[in-house]
């Protein structure tokens, strides 16, 4: 850690005297550190690289604010942290700001899903018991044909045919139902 | 843009820069704002007519010392807050010292005074205008400090704004002391401090919004 501090601080002081090569070396050395710093704190977002660049621009614009009497790493960390906090604050605002109609609150509802489930149950109740069990296993529970076959003691092709016929029967029932 | 390309571009435009900018900016802003504030005081309120006689009394110097020490300690904290990574908390405790000293002295004055003299010691003759005038005289200094801070890098904008407000308030109170003819310590401890605190609150509010970078 102190080695890093000594090396980076020497580069920073040379950069402040106008040494462009030292400055390039410094920024290139900082990039992986900053990238890791932001990635670890912004899991699952693509913003880390943007923040690396924003922080570099801030380092550039505010480099005269560095006081050589203080550690360079503390200065760098404070800037990176500030940029991170600023980013989180801004993105939180963005997330609560999308404009939408007041009715958007009512567009989705648990009640629709519950009603659909009741309709399906009513239709299934009209199927013969064996076929009802097949549809439930394969189409609702998500079992594979092989698993359903093992569970019911039927052959796989019999399961396939059974499910197919059951779905056809259900489709016919829906067709004969009066519209809402 | 790729980060490598950004590094290339930044390193191509890096003229030498003198480090340690914060103390220079804060001092320059204080000087510029203070000059405007002093001119405003001369034109608007005028020096107190008995300035030369008053200069021989300890009460006169008490006001100057209080406001000067307050401004110096708050200004010092401000320079720390304007530099990323500089510890500022211990310095900020300094600001309590001038007020604590004056408050202790005021309490002693009040306790030792006969009862009917206590209210005049505290209220003086100008308490209705004193904090407002201090706040008004502080505004040019606060503006100069906030402008200066935008060139620096305060990582805690609200705190930096508060420190700028307290510095400006104390400096404005220092300027106001050239006009004000109150001489009781309890009056200064209450009403001067109230004016300074109001400017501090304003600074915190403005800093929160103006000092983002």
DSSP state of A178: P
Q: Which tokens in the block code for residue A16?
A: 């402040």
* Contact between B168 and B203 (Cβ < 8 Å): yes
pTM for the whole structure: 0.74
- Chain B positions in Cβ-Cβ contact with residue A5 (cut-off 8 Å): none
**Nearest CA distance, B26 vs chain A (angstrom):** 12
**Model confidence at A37: pLDDT above 60:** yes
Average pLDDT taken over every residue of chain B: 92
CA distance B148 to chain A (A): 12
Q: Mean of the pLDDT values across residues A60-89?
A: 92
Q: Are B40 and B140 in contact (CB under 8 A)?
A: yes
Q: Do A78 and B85 touch (CB under 8 A)?
A: yes
Which residue of chain B is at minimal alpha-carbon distance from A70? B86
pLDDT, tens digit (0-9, with 9 covering 90-100), for B166-182: 999 999 999 999 999 88
User: How many angstroms separate the CA of residue B18 from the nearest CA in chain A?
Assistant: 6
Question: Binning pLDDT at 50, 70 and 90, where does residue A179 land?
Answer: very low
Q: Is B56 on the interface with A (CB under 8 A)?
A: no
- Which A residues in the span 17-46 are in contact with B, Cβ-Cβ below 8 Å? 17-18, 20-21, 23-24, 27-28, 31
Share of chain B above pLDDT 70, in %: 100
DSSP A144: -
Answer whether residue B16 shows pLDDT above 60: yes
B83-92, B123-132, B174-183: which range is least confident on average? Answer: B83-92
């Amino acid at each position: 850690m102190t080695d890093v501090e000594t090396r980076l601080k020497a580069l920073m002081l040379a950069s402040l005297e106008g040494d462009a090569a030292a400055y390039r070396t410094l920024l290139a050395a900082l990039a992986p550190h900053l990238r890791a710093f932001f990635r670890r704190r912004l899991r699952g977002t693509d913003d880390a690289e943007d923040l690396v660049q924003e922080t570099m621009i801030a380092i550039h614009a505010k480099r005269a604010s560095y006081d050589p009497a203080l550690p360079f790493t503390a200065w760098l960390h404070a800037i990176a942290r500030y940029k991170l906090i600023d980013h989180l604050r801004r993105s939180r605002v963005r997330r609560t700001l999308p404009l939408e109609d007041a009715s958007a609150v009512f567009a989705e509802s648990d009640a629709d899903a519950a009603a659909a489930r009741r309709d399906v149950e009513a239709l299934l109740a009209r199927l013969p018991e064996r076929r009802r069990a097949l549809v439930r296993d394969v189409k609702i529970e998500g079992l594979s044909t092989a698993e359903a076959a093992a569970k019911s003691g039927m052959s796989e092709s019999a399961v396939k045919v059974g499910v197919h016929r059951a779905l056809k029967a259900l489709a016919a029932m829906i067709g004969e139902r009066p519209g809402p | 843009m790729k980060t490598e390309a950004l590094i290339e571009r930044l390193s191509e435009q890096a003229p030498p820069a003198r480090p340690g900018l914060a103390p220079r900016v804060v001092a320059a802003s204080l000087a510029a704002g203070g000059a405007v504030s002093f001119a405003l005081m001369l034109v608007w309120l005028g020096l107190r007519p008995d300035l030369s006689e008053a200069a021989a009394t300890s009460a006169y110097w008490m006001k100057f010392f209080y406001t000067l020490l307050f401004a110096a300690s708050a200004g010092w904290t401000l320079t720390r807050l304007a530099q990323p990574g500089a510890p500022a908390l211990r310095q900020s405790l300094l600001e309590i010292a001038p007020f604590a000293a004056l408050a202790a002295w005021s309490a002693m004055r009040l306790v030792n005074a006969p009862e009917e003299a206590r209210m005049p010691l505290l209220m003086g003759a100008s308490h209705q205008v004193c904090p407002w005038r201090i706040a008004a005289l502080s505004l040019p200094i606060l503006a100069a400090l906030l402008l200066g801070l935008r060139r620096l890098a305060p990582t805690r904008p609200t705190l930096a704004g508060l420190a700028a407000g307290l510095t400006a308030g104390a400096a404005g109170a220092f300027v106001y002391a050239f006009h004000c003819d109150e001489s009781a310590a309890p009056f200064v401890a209450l009403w001067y401090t109230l004016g300074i605190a109001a400017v501090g609150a304003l600074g915190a509010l403005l800093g929160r919004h103006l000092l983002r970078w």
